[in-house]
A and B are shown apart, each in its own frame.
Chain A
Amino acid sequence: MQEFDRALTGLSYEDKKEILGDYEEHFRFGLAAGKTEEEICEALGQPKAIAKAYRAETLVARAKSDKSVGNIVRALIAVVSLGFFNLVFVSGIFFGLVGTLIGFWGAGIGITFGGLAVLIVSLIGPALLIADMPAAAMAGMGFLGAGLCALGILWGIGCFYISKWFYKLIVKYLQFNIKIIKGYRV
């Protein structure tokens, strides 16, 4: 019974009281007819399944009562105007931000590989005789390469977090859209 009570969450207090009352009555009559509580429970079936049936009935009833023309028109207007707003404003901002992000990623990758190239040249350049420079300059170049490389990687990590945040923002925005549309229906 407790499990059933818990499974019924989402229904109003009055509904719950009435529903539980029906089952209490059922148990009383069942016990009076000489059945054990286990037998009655087994015949009734899963508490969760029964609670689901109640919720489904409630939702169907609600959907039926909300099928007025006004509601449908309002929902339609919400969908159309949201669509327009999304197309004109949000898509512009969206593509702008996506472009910026792609630019950031490109910059990160460029800096990383540039740094890597400088580092490699400074390490193997003298051996291959493609860079003839004093040792101190070579060392300086090596540090510069390593530094650039590290900066690029850090930049990339930053990009990763910004992208993640951007993704979350989009999901939130889409959820917000759905809420608006649904809000007119319920």
Chain B
Amino acid sequence: MNIQFKKGVLELCVLALLLGRDFYGYELVHQISENIDIAEGTIYPLLRRLTQEGYFTTYLQESAEGPPRKYYKLTSKGREYAGSLKNEWIRFVGGVSRILEGEKSGE
């Protein structure tokens, strides 16, 4: 799949996952790469940018096994942004599939 295309969608995926609950980095990367074929290393730069832009905050939490985990949590600004992006995406995909179906029936 086109790399630019994936990059755009990646942001939405990260935000959508965090709408559900807080994730730590490795877990988040794992969730996404399970579903989408992408170089895992490219997710961390995105997380960092969204944090710097004020959409996430991070906090460290000790875990029973292993080292402390760096969790990502949506801020209220991030929550708002994630919601609007998600709606935009749903409308967009709806429009695209209508066009694709129209193309099929038009043939």
Contacts and interface: CB of A to CB of B under 8 A. Distances in A.
Interface of A: 18-19, 22-23, 25-26, 28-30, 32, 43-47, 49-50, 53-54, 56-57, 60-61
Contacts of A22: 25, 44, 47-48, 70
A53 B11 CA distance: 14
Interface in B42-59: 42, 44-49, 52-53
Contacts of A54: 45, 48
Interface residues of B, number: 21
Q: Is the interface of A mostly helix, strand, loop or mixed?
A: helix
A50 B45 contact: yes
A126 to B, nearest CB: 80
Q: Is the interface of B mostly helix, strand, loop or mixed?
A: helix
Contacts of A32: 65-66
B66 to A, nearest CB: 6
B39 A49 contact: yes
Interface string B21-51: 0000110010001000001111011111100
Nearest to B26: A29
Contacts of B65: 32
B34 to A, nearest CB: 11
Nearest to A44: B41
A53 B45 contact: yes
Nearest to A29: B26
B56 to A, nearest CB: 13
A32 B67 CA distance: 10
A44 B3 CA distance: 15
A28 B44 contact: no
A26 B32 CA distance: 14
User: 3 closest A-B pairs (Cβ-Cβ)?
Assistant: A45-B39, A44-B41, A29-B26
A57 B25 contact: no
Contact of A44 (B39, B46, B49): B39
A26 B26 contact: yes
A28 B49 CA distance: 23
B21 to A, nearest CB: 18
B66 A45 contact: no
